[in-house]
Amino acid sequence: MSQNEIKEQIAQYLGSHPFINLATVTAQGAPQAHTVAFAAQGATVYFGTRQDTRKAANMLANPQVAYVVDQDQYAAFTEITGVQMEGVAGQVTDAQEIARANALYAAKFGESATITPSEQHIVFKIGPVRAYFLDYSKGFGHKDLVEY
């Protein structure tokens, strides 16, 4: 499978799932996991969060993150699929990029859904660095690697 085909699989998978399980690191080096509703453009993920959350503080201090997205349940191990992503998080402040992220979010979650920044909320994006697309139908533990 070509790198472009893997990237397309990842983009489609992200588009069809509502949540990522995001891993960040505290200032003391402790890992933390967070469930986040997101919208994606290709493999770039957008989401909003309150400014006072642990994940916001963690990402502002250390932008290196990872996340996984997969199904909640599988009938058998051979049905496991998912995305394991390593990326770089950053706060989005550009008005045009925020508008695009909002449009993606509303298209995914409904017109009333928004990630518009405010005094309490900020918008983040995660740019992809390295990803694995898991597809256990090709063999237990099978994953295809792609670099961005």
| Domain map (residue ranges) of the chain | 3-64+88-127
- Domain 3-64+88-127, second-level architecture: Roll (2.30)
pLDDT digits (tens, 9 = 90+) for 37-73: 999 999 999 999 999 999 999 999 999 999 999 987 8
The C-alpha atoms of residue 127 and residue 103 are separated, in whole angstroms, by 18
pLDDT digits (tens, 9 = 90+) for 109-130: 998 888 888 999 999 999 999 9
pTM of the model: 0.93
The C-alpha atoms of residue 117 and residue 97 are separated, in whole angstroms, by 12
Question: Does 19 have pLDDT greater than 90?
Answer: yes
Find the length of the chain: 148
- Supply 141's token pair: 């533990």
For 28-95, where are the E strands, in sequence order?
Answer: 31-37, 39-41, 44-50, 64-70, 81-92
